[in-house]
Chain A
Amino acid sequence: MTLTEKLRERISRAFYKHGLLCASYPIPIILFTGLCILACCYPLLKLPLPGTGPVEFSTPVKDYFPPSPDVVSQQGDLSERPDWYVGAPVAYIQQIFVKATVSPWQKNFLAVDVFRSPLSRVFQLVEEIRNHALRDSSGVKSLEEVCLQVTDLLPGLKKLRNLLPEHGCLLLSPGNFWQNDRERFNADPDIIKTIHQHEPKTLQTSATLKDLLFGLPGKYSGVNLYNRKRVVSYTVTLGLQRYDSRFLSSLRSRLKLLHPSPNCTLREESIVHVHFKEEIGIAELIPLVTTYIILFAYIYFSTRKIDMVKSKWGLALAAVVTVLSSLLMSVGLCTLFGLTPTLNGGEIFPYLVVVIGLENVLVLTKSVVSTPVDLEVKLRIAQGLSNESWSIMKNMATELGIILIGYFTLVPAIQEFCLFAVVGLVSDFFLQMLFFTTVLSIDIRRMELADLTRRLPAETCLPPAKPTSRTQRSERQPALRPATPHTITLQPSSFRNLRLPKRLRVIYFFARTRLAQRLIMAGTVIWIGILVYTDPAGLRTYLTSQVTEQSPLGEAGLPPMAVPGGVLPAGDPKLDLSVFPSDPMQLSENQTQQREQQSLSRLEANQHTWAQGAEGRGNGQTELGTEAEVTWGAEDEEIWRKLSFRHWPSLFSYYNITLAKRYISILPAIPVTLYLNPQEALELRHPQEANRYQPFLSSRAGKLNAEAQPDQASSKLQGHRDVTLY
């Protein structure tokens, strides 16, 4: 036997065995493939929605000047500059990144003291920035001249009217929550609530108001009751219309002088220009729709060829699902391995489906249904698979070869397309062999069972005719069904000629269409849908936060939990009881306080670590009462990158400025470090906060007195109160 024939033999045998396996354990295999698909699709959650991801380009700050609006007159390295880098940007964004902490920290402080005083400094900082003026030989230049003047908000955003600036400079800071009025801030008893009042309760993937005003994603801001490091971060975001390097450097040096950041390692070297892709217009839409129509026509014509199976629609659906999931897996896997897709997924999807094709599944189906009917289901599948094994492998090898040739054209977009196609082909093969084969075996089994059930009533109704007509019928329809000696094959149309009583007919109708089961299934699906929609457990907010990179532990998603004692760790519980005012107690039934309590309760988890002061946390806040240190690290570099992809487009769209086809330039941030002393924190404390936490102390005192010294451990057991408010 030649090599090819030996190979054929081997492949046939392998496929045969695989077919037997698939037909024997259909459900586990389907579950396994489902899990594989989900696993490979997981990286997709991190991608931006297709076609909306922004494109970046950096230039150094030194000697920066905006590019001229004329394409022709651009000098120098044209090849390096992207096409969209023409003309001035819509705005320059200057962020002043503030990190503040109360230092030294007192043991008797409340959790709210962590962020109240740092936040209070924002008003002063905003005033400083607003009043900054550059005096030089050519006169006085103030902020009003360089900043971007915004007019009205969009008419539908009335509720944000007093939170976002109107008819003035675009200056955003957390102070906007209190209309930049220090008195309102001081009078606010519940800061966390004010900050969260406009957070969306439903699914929202664009930027939230809190992100807009804080300028960083929530989990980095530190405005929560579970802030271990006790460093509060926020930014003051400034929108500028013109780039005036002297003004900006004077602002930068002034702020650095007033609030120095001693160990700041932020590089302030480059400006990042972010370009937003154009929105879809009619010229793009028509070709896109046409390609999708062609795709659907292709799928329709392909699935029309399926016949001799029980459920044509079921198999067609399975075929489409196979191809779709293989493409999703391909994109997921490529993303996992670091490829950032630059092609617009929605546009190339029909071409990928056409390249991968539905031919293989049709060939498989045809080969399986043409095996002899009297064999067992397993054997039919196995034989069908092994018959087509060689041609399937040959086809796949050919297609892989062609696509690899395409890869060597060295055009980046075509290379990316070919990469997706190759991975898609391989995963399609994998899914066909596992998923589609199993579905086919289930279908064949159902078809055989249906045949059997169809034969049975015929027998009961025509017993006298059996002996005479048996041979006749079997002769007449030899090809259709090899008749076993004890049955008559009855066509379905003859069924209706039998005069069954009406109730029997109704019952048979219900049984044949399996109406009851389907209704129950539909009902269950609808119920699950309602559950997902109303989302009692907060799964959706969790998923959204993963997509938009916010902290997953938002308050809306947290179920209320029991509130055991201890908000701040103390070295020695007995010693500290008397000066321990900040024990939120579980006795309060007040709903508005429940949030703070459940959050405070979660500090429980770290109580022992803080108490022992064992771990040296990064910012040196291990021992209570020590000096806190604010460190600037690599993760603070360009923190705006951690914001959602829709952050800047939403901000500008609030003022009816569109960023489509245009770009913005984000200047390097100015770091500002604020150290607040404990007196200030004490003075700023709102009386209601002190009262709220007062009763907790007495009951805790009562509780702890009764317990033994190793109480730290037991307090750990009192549940997990997780506090992330941000």
Chain B
Amino acid sequence: AAATTWRQHLVQRSVVLFVVGAFMALVLNLLQIQRNVTLFPDEVIATLFSSAWWVPPCCGTAAAVVGLLYPCIDSHLGEPHKFKREWASVMRCIAVFVGINHASAKLDFANNIQLSLTLAALSLGLWWTFDRSRSGLGLGITIAFVATLITQFLVYNGVYQYTSPDFLYIRSWLPCIFFSGGVTVGNIGRQLAM
């Protein structure tokens, strides 16, 4: 009985994380559209729901995996995460993450170096404010690395395109966004697991 309830709990958590991940991907895509940062093959809203249909589910599954991974690693390492374990902080973390995306989409930066540095600083600030664990940092960096590789692979194979590519064909801020996204989703996962 304990195992089934635990399994139910797990399924519930993954569903919630999946929905959150998919919704975030949708919203953040809409934010990016206005600056013509991502170039879809066809018209914008149409593509959002047709040709790039695989982006939200992909992000959803990734979010579910990451959200379940964080508490798992916490229990493996034996350090339960106690820093700011409450829903209000989680909401704040989500808001700051959306804010970082909003800033990267809407602001005019003088050059890409400035953009990358600012975003890196903001992401690290996010991690430090809401999650001061080393495991969180390590996991976040790993996620950023892996996700950048995957996106790089997709762009290289022509599945996805960016209007003004740099940093080896993709925007240089992508790793920062993946890092902060990982930390945020990890936070949600930990709170759900409590």
Q: A interface vs B, CB < 8 Å?
A: 282-284, 286-287, 290-291, 294-295, 297-298, 301-302, 304-305, 347, 350-351, 354, 357-359, 402, 405, 409-411, 413-414
Contacts and interface: CB of A to CB of B under 8 A. Distances in A.
Contacts of B121: 405, 409
Interface stretch (B9-17, B25-33, B62-70, B142-150): B25-33
A357 B103 CA distance: 19
Contacts, number: 75
B20 to A, nearest CB: 11
Interface string B65-102: 00000000000000000000011101110111011001
Contacts of A358: 88
Instruction: Please classify the interface of chain B as helix (H, G, I), strand (E, B), loop, or mixed, using the class held by over half of its residues.
Output: helix
Nearest to A405: B121
A411 B44 CA distance: 29
A402 B86 contact: no
Contact of B33 (A283, A294, A413): A283
Interface of B: 23, 26-28, 30-31, 33-34, 44-45, 86-88, 90-92, 94-96, 98-99, 102-103, 106-110, 114, 118, 121, 125
A301 B91 contact: yes
B99 A409 contact: no
A304 B114 CA distance: 40
B95 A286 contact: no
A351 B95 contact: yes
A304 B118 CA distance: 34
Contacts of B91: 294, 297-298, 301
A414 B107 contact: yes
Nearest to A285: B30
Contacts of A351: 95-96, 99, 102
Most chain B Cβ neighbours within 10 Å, of A294, A357, A402: A294
27 contacts: A283-B30, A283-B34, A286-B26, A286-B30, A287-B30, A287-B98, A290-B27, A291-B95, A291-B99, A294-B91, A294-B95, A298-B91, A298-B92, A301-B87, A301-B91, A305-B86, A350-B95, A354-B92, A354-B95, A354-B96, A354-B99, A411-B109, A411-B118, A413-B103, A413-B106, A414-B103, A414-B118
Most chain B Cβ neighbours within 10 Å, of A359, A410, A411: A411
Nearest to B31: A287
Contacts of A287: 27-28, 30-31, 98, 102
Top 10 closest pairs, chain A to chain B, by CB: A298-B91, A301-B87, A301-B88, A354-B95, A302-B88, A351-B99, A294-B95, A297-B91, A413-B107, A290-B27
Nearest to A352: B99
Most chain A Cβ neighbours within 10 Å, of B94, B99, B109: B99
A222 B136 CA distance: 70
A295 B95 contact: yes
B45 to A, nearest CB: 7
B126 to A, nearest CB: 11
A305 B87 CA distance: 10
B88 A305 contact: yes
Contacts of A402: 125
A250 B3 CA distance: 91
Contacts of A411: 107-110, 114, 118
Nearest to A83: B108
Contacts of B107: 411, 413-414
B95 A283 contact: no
Contacts of A413: 103, 106-108
Nearest to A402: B125
Given A301-B86, A411-B118, A283 B92 contact: no
Contacts of A347: 102
Contact of B34 (A284, A290, A298, A304): A284
Contacts of B27: 286-287, 290
A347 B31 CA distance: 12
Nearest to B128: A402
A298 B94 CA distance: 10
Contacts of B90: 301
Nearest to B44: A283
A394 B27 CA distance: 36
A446 to B, nearest CB: 26
Nearest to A409: B118
B128 to A, nearest CB: 10
Contacts of A286: 26-27, 30
A357 B33 CA distance: 30
Contacts of A297: 91
A283 B45 contact: yes
A290 B92 CA distance: 13
A667 B66 CA distance: 59
A282 to B, nearest CB: 7
B110 to A, nearest CB: 8
A282 B86 CA distance: 33
A411 to B, nearest CB: 6
Contacts of A302: 88
Contacts of A409: 114, 118, 121
A322 to B, nearest CB: 16
A122 to B, nearest CB: 46
Contacts of A295: 95
Contacts of B106: 413
Contacts of B95: 291, 294-295, 298, 350-351, 354
A291 B109 contact: no
Nearest to A357: B92
Given A286-B30, A298-B91, 20 more contacts: A283-B34, A283-B45, A284-B30, A284-B34, A287-B28, A290-B98, A291-B102, A294-B95, A298-B92, A298-B95, A301-B90, A351-B96, A354-B96, A357-B92, A409-B114, A411-B110, A411-B114, A411-B118, A413-B106, A414-B118
